[in-house]
Amino acid sequence: MTLMKSLMGAAAAVALTAGAAFAEPALIFDLGGKFDKSFNEAAYNGAQRWANETGGKYREIEIQSEAQREQALRRFAESGANPIITMGFGMADPLSAVAGDYPETKFVAVDVNWLDIPNIRQIGFAEHEGSYLVGMMAAMASKSGTVGFIGGMDIPLIRHFGCGYAQGAKAVNPDINVVANMTGTTPAAWNDPVKGSELTKAQISQGADVIYAAAGGTGVGVLQTAADEGILSIGVDSNQNHLHPGKVLTSMLKRVDVAVYDAMKAGDAVETGVFTMGLAEEGVGVAMDDNNKELVSVRMNDAVEEARKAIINGDITVVSYYENDSCPALQF
């Protein structure tokens, strides 16, 4: 009995000190997996940057199924991690269930911006603004007058991407034909490069010669096939220009890495509330580097720069798909 008591006492002491001493940040990746070369990998890069600069450590988990979302959240909160950073809109429901139980813990939700809970920092991105710019570039690079869009799972967020893209393309060429396809309606659509390839081939046969992939791991197949077939592609979230140098027109950057880095840097003092990162905040943008230098003409560069400024100061309004769940430029 005494042994039992002292063991339990020791365990309790360890648990208490663990809670107090290790306020390590934690990062929960979405179903696409840490190395999707896109959304989740951007978060990983941000976290790595923080770890390298500060020598700090963070905890992470790549969830494998929907059921693990709440489990992972609770486990990290229970173990005293702070802040807990979650990736993807799918964490909204688990967060509303868990966040209230741990008022002392700060949560950071990337891609969620509609919850009314005080201890969450919610970060939304103005993806339609960045997509508008790559849409303009696609329309200027297209010779056939048809450009394509391949989304991952068919959810409002991805339509939001597609909608901005179509508006940008139509701003350059009102007669342009935008072909849009979604990979699927389940989370498996984020990780099906074979299907991404087939969709790319289908769009090419419909005349598309620039294709924008907003599809997580599926996009790897889209970019690959586009490069094989000699047409241009546009990457998403991370800078994907280097995947096929000279074949990827540009990438729509979503600076998830910055969001994650900032949150980790602020630590448990991170400011909560709803934040939107658009062109003005440099939360979204287009990727220009050595790999796509040859593809981007001076005219294209100037037009994009002009549009960027116009969007920031309000001369151009890019309609968001969320406003009334429909898109003026594209029928899904």
Residues that bind other proteins (CB under 8 A): 33-36, 62, 143-144, 154, 181-182, 184-185, 188, 191-195, 197-199, 201-202, 204-205, 207, 209, 217, 220-221, 224, 229-230, 243
The smaller minimum CB distance to other proteins, of residues 33 and 164, is found at: 33
The smaller minimum CB distance to other proteins, of residues 116 and 294, is found at: 294
The smaller minimum CB distance to other proteins, of residues 243 and 249, is found at: 243
> Quick one: CA dihedral 278, 152, 166, 253, positive or negative?
positive
Shortest spacing between CB 239 and other proteins, in angstroms:
16
d(CA 40, CA 91): 14
Shortest spacing between CB 230 and other proteins, in angstroms:
6
d(CA 22, CA 26): 11
Phi-psi region of 75 (alpha: psi -120 to 50; beta: other; left: phi over 0): alpha
Place of tokens 């508008």: 132
Quickly count: other Cβ atoms within 10 Å of residue 56's Cβ. Answer: 14
The smaller minimum CB distance to other proteins, of residues 138 and 311, is found at: 138
Shortest spacing between CB 168 and other proteins, in angstroms:
22
Shortest spacing between CB 267 and other proteins, in angstroms:
27
Q: Edge-to-edge strand order for the sheet containing 248-254?
A: 177-184, 146-153, 210-214, 232-237, 248-254, 284-286
User: Alpha carbon 173 to chain centroid distance?
Assistant: 28
The smaller minimum CB distance to other proteins, of residues 22 and 35, is found at: 35
CB 131 within 8 A of CB 187: no
